[in-house]
A and B are shown apart, each in its own frame.
Chain A
Amino acid sequence: MLLLNDVSKSFDQLAAVRSFSLTVDVGRTTVLLGPSGCGKSTVLRLIIGLLPADHGTIAFDGERVTPEAVLLMRRKMGYVIQEGGLFPHLTTYENLTLMAAYLGWDTSRIKSRVSELVELTQFPEDALPRYPGQLSGGQRQRVSLMRALMLDPKLLLMDEPLGALDPLIRVDLQAELKSIFNKLNKTVIMVTHDLGEAAYLGDTIVLMRDGEIVQQGALDDLVKSPADPFVTRFISAQRSPLDGMTGEQV
C-alpha cells in the first residue's frame, strides 16, 4: 500500500528525517509517535508531496510519488491537520464539496456522500451552511475529517488531529475516531505525541527520535522488549504521573 525506502529530508543542513523506511499495509492504522521535533510530521508531508524528499523513494498504491504524479495521487489521500486548515471563506458544505465539485461530480452524488459523512461523524446537519469561524473546535475537526474522507481516499493521513482540542472533547473524539476507523477499515497513518492516543488508536506504533525510527510494533512489544533505553524512558515519562491508568483514559 505505502512504501518508504531510505527516505531523508534536511532543512538548511539540519536533518529532519534520516534513512526512513516503512511499510504500511492496507487496512492498518499506523501511528508515528515521538517527542516534538522528531520529524514525524515531516514524514506525512513527504508522503503527500508537500515537501520533496532529498533522498530515497516513496511509493503509494504501487506507484512512485513524484512531483508530476503527486497531484492525482493526493486525490486518493485524505489529509487532516491540527488546526483543521478549513477554508474560512467557504461554508462547511462548500469546504466538504469543493474538491468533488471541482472534479465534476453531479449534485445528487455529492449530496448523498455528504449525508453519509454527516452520519458517520455525527456532525449536526443544520451546521452545514455555517462558516468555519462559526463552529466549535470539535466541530471544525469533524469537518476537516469529513473533507479528507469526501473522495473516499485509500489512505488517510492525520497530523495531530486532536492536538488543539481541550482534554474532555479530545477523549470523546478519540473514541469516535476509533469507531470510524473500525467502520471504514481504511489505511491510516496518524501522527501524535500522546502515547495513550497512539496505543488506543494504532495497530502499529512507530516510535521516532531525531528523524529516525527507534522501534516499531504493538505497545506490548515496546514495553516488554524495548530496542533502546529511549523507548522505556519515553513510555515511562508519559505513564508515571498517571500510574495504573490505561491508555484509553489518558
Chain B
Amino acid sequence: MTGKLACWTIVLSLLLCLVPAQTPGDDRTDRPIRVGSKKFTENVILGEIVTQLARSEGLPAEHRRELGGTRVLWNALAGGGIDIYPDYTGTIQREILKQYNLETEREIEAKLAEFGIRISRPLGFNNTYAIGMKETLAVRLDISNISDLRDHPELKFGFTNEFMDREDGWQGLRMHYQLPQDFVRGLDHDLAYRGIDSESIHVIDLYSTDAEIEYYNLRALEDDRAYFPQYDAVLLYREDLAGRAPQLIEKLEGLAGRIPESKMIGMNARAKLEGIHEKEIAAAFIGETFGVQTEYSREGFWQRLGKHTVDHLILVAISLSAAILIAIPLGIIAVKSPRLEKAIMGVVGVIQTIPSLALLVFMIPLLGIGGPPAVTALFLYSLLPIVRNTYTGIRDIPVSVNESARALGLSPAARLRLIELPMASSTILAGIKTSAVINIGTATLGALIGAGGYGQPILTGIRLDDITMILQGAVPAAVLALVVQGLFDFAERFIVPKGLRLS
C-alpha cells in the first residue's frame, strides 16, 4: 500500500518536472524574439527600444522587463530563455566573465563566442559606477575624491546589493582605497536615493547616467585612483538570433554610438522624474534617431490589473494544485513508513529554509526564465505546510479509533479513505490554507525572473518611486490572499465532516 503510493508520487513528480522542462529548449524559428532587461530604468528603456525596433521590422517580439539582476539575465541568455539584453562592458569583464581575467575587447568577444553569445558595438554612453554623496555634505567635509573618504570613518554607506557582492563592487573598492568605514548596508538602488536625501545614509553607489544625481543635488566623487573600469552600454545577443533575424541585427548595429551620455541621462530623467512611460520614451527616441514611427500599446489601469491577475492566478493555481497532489501522498507515506519519514520531512523542511528569491534563481539554469521556473519554485515552497499537516493530522488520530478501524477488518486503503483522511481533513485543509497564503505572497517575487503577476507593478513602483504603482500590486495580492482564505473557509464546510465540527 505504502509502496504503491510511493510509486505514484514519484511518477507524478517526474511528470511535473517534465512538463515545464520542455518549454525553454524550443528552437522554433517563428517564436517571438525575447528581449530582457534589468530592473533599473535605463535598462528597461534600452530593452524597450530593442523591442520596438524588432517590431518595426515586422518581427514578433516580447519584452521581459525588470528581471532580477545580472546573473539572472546572463543565465537566461545563455540558456535561451531570452535572446538579447542590454549590459555594460565593465560588468561583462569584471562580473560575468570575472574568472577568466580578460583584458582586451578581442579576448572578451572570443570568450563570449564560446557561450554562443555575441556583443554589439557600444551604444555611445559610459554608465560607470560612481560613489556619490550630497553636494552640501561634500562641501562641508571638503570631499571631492574617493580617497578623501578615508578621513571620515563615521560616514554611513548604503550600496545596492549587487554592488556589495560584485567583483568590481564594494569589496574591491574598500581594498583599493583602504576605506575604514564600518557602517555599510545593502539596499535597493531606488531606495538608496531616498535614504541619502533623508540623510539616514551619507554615501551611495551611483550609475553615472542616473537622472537622480542632478535631481537630489549629489556629487559624484572623483575616482582618483582609477578603480572603476569603462561601463560602455552594449547589447548581448545569442548567435542564433543573427540567423533568425539578420535585419534586426543590422538595425541594432545602427544604434552604435547613437546614444550619447547626455541623451541617456535625459531619457532616464523623463522616465524617473517626469513619470513618462518607457514605451513612449523609446518610441520618441526611435522616431528621432531612425525617423521611424513605431507603435506601442499602453494598457489602461484595468487592462494591466487584469493581466497581472491572470498571470498571478496561473502561477498560484498550478503550483498549489501540484503541491496538493504531491504533498498529501508524501505526508501519508511519512506516517505509514517510519523508514521514509525522516527523509521526506527532512528534504521538505530543507527546501523551506532556502530563501525564496534564491530558490527562484536556482531554477533559471534548469528551466529558463518566466512561468515554469516560478511555478516550480512556488510548488516546492508550498510542500512543507501540506506535508506536515497531513502527517500530523493522521498521526494524531487517537489510538482507540485507529485500533477500532483495524479491528473491524478494514483494509489499509479503506482505512485511509474512510477513517484517516476524513479525520485529518481539517488539519490538512489548514495546511493547504497556509500554503496558499505563502504562495500568493511569494509569487510576487516571480516578476524578478520574468513570470509577471502582481510583483510586476511592485517592481516598477519601487524603481520609479511610485507608491500608487506599488499599491497596484500589493493591494490585489493582499485581497487575493483574503479571498482564497475565504474560499477555503467556505470549502471547509463541505470537506470536513460535520461530526468533527461539533465541539
**Contact in complex: A85, B400 (CB < 8 Å):** yes
**Contact in complex: A133, B400 (CB < 8 Å):** no
A185 touches B (CB below 8 Å): no
A102–B409 Cα distance when bound, in Å, is 10
- Classify chain B: how many residues form its interface, as a range: 20 to 34
Contact of A91 among B398, B406, B422, B499 (CB under 8 A): B499
* Interface members, chain A 119-155 (any B CB < 8 Å): 131-134, 147
Contact of B400 among A71, A84, A99 (CB under 8 A): A84
**Contact in complex: A99, B410 (CB < 8 Å):** yes
> Chain A residues near B418 (CB, 8 Å)?
98, 102
A106–B364 Cα distance when bound, in Å, is 58
A171–B109 Cα distance when bound, in Å, is 97
A99–B419 Cα distance when bound, in Å, is 12
B242 touches A (CB below 8 Å): no
| Shortest distance from the beta carbon of B409 to any chain A beta carbon, whole Å | 4
Contact with A along B383-411 (1 / 0, CB 8 A): 00000000000000010110111111111
**Contact in complex: A98, B408 (CB < 8 Å):** yes
**Contact in complex: B407, A77 (CB < 8 Å):** yes
Contact of A48 among B407, B414, B422, B498 (CB under 8 A): B407
A88–B500 Cα distance when bound, in Å, is 6
> Chain B residues near A194 (CB, 8 Å)?
none
A89 touches B (CB below 8 Å): yes
A82–B410 Cα distance when bound, in Å, is 20
> Chain B residues near A91 (CB, 8 Å)?
499
A73–B497 Cα distance when bound, in Å, is 30
**Contact in complex: B409, A90 (CB < 8 Å):** no
A73–B406 Cα distance when bound, in Å, is 12
A168 touches B (CB below 8 Å): no
**Contact in complex: A87, B407 (CB < 8 Å):** no
Contact of B406 among A50, A98, A102, A132 (CB under 8 A): A50
Contact of A79 among B407, B414, B499 (CB under 8 A): B407
B423 touches A (CB below 8 Å): yes
B101 touches A (CB below 8 Å): no
Which residue of chain B has its CB nearest to the CB of A134?
Answer: B502
A75–B409 Cα distance when bound, in Å, is 5
**Contact in complex: A131, B502 (CB < 8 Å):** yes
Contact of A88 among B401, B406, B407, B414 (CB under 8 A): B401
* Interface members, chain B 478-503 (any A CB < 8 Å): 497-500, 502-503
**Contact in complex: B499, A89 (CB < 8 Å):** yes
**Contact in complex: A133, B407 (CB < 8 Å):** no
> Chain A residues near B405 (CB, 8 Å)?
87
**Contact in complex: A88, B408 (CB < 8 Å):** no
User: A81 with B410: in contact, given A88-B423, A89-B500, A102-B418 (CB under 8 Å)?
Assistant: no
| Shortest distance from the beta carbon of A130 to any chain B beta carbon, whole Å | 9
> Chain A residues near B400 (CB, 8 Å)?
81-85
**Contact in complex: A99, B502 (CB < 8 Å):** no
A75–B404 Cα distance when bound, in Å, is 12
**Contact in complex: A81, B404 (CB < 8 Å):** yes
A198 touches B (CB below 8 Å): no
Contact of B401 among A48, A73, A77, A85 (CB under 8 A): A85
A102–B406 Cα distance when bound, in Å, is 14
**Contact in complex: B502, A86 (CB < 8 Å):** no
> Chain A residues near B499 (CB, 8 Å)?
87-91, 131-133
* Interface members, chain A 235-250 (any B CB < 8 Å): none
A88–B426 Cα distance when bound, in Å, is 13
A89–B502 Cα distance when bound, in Å, is 10
* Interface members, chain B 402-438 (any A CB < 8 Å): 403-411, 414, 418-419, 422-423
List 6 A-B pairs, minimum CB-CB distance, nearest first. Answer: A85-B404, A74-B409, A89-B497, A131-B499, A79-B407, A75-B409
Interface CB pairs A-B, < 8 A, 19: A50-B407, A71-B409, A71-B411, A77-B407, A79-B404, A79-B408, A85-B407, A87-B405, A87-B419, A87-B423, A88-B423, A89-B422, A89-B500, A91-B499, A98-B410, A99-B408, A131-B502, A132-B499, A134-B502
Interface residues of B, Cβ cutoff 8 Å to A: 398, 400-401, 403-411, 414, 418-419, 422-423, 497-500, 502-503
